[in-house]
Amino acid sequence: MSLKGFHILFIALAFLCTAGFWAWSYADVERARELGAIAMGNLSGSLSVGLLIYGIWFVVKKSKTIIL
């Protein structure tokens, strides 16, 4: 696997993890509040949007200039 492929895979997995945590904290608000994870869930949602935008930008723009 090339470095570019690994980078795309890593960004995709990071997006899935952050979006999954946000979805859990949104779906199970009572448990998240009990654990004190509301703020982390909101931060995770913001990070997942940022990772999605970065991943799309990387695949469309940046990866064309990278060899391999």
In this prediction, residue 1 carries a pLDDT of 79
Residue length of the chain: 68
Domains of the chain: total: 1
List, for residues 37-56, the tens digit of each pLDDT value.
999 999 999 999 999 999 99
Are 19 and 48 contacting, i.e. CB atoms less than 8 angstroms apart?
A: yes
Query: Average pLDDT, whole number, for the chain?
Result: 91
Chain position carrying tokens 């998240």 = 32
Q: How confident is the model at residue 68 (pLDDT cuts 50, 70, 90)?
A: low
Give the domain range for residue 19. 3-64
pTM above 0.85, yes or no: no
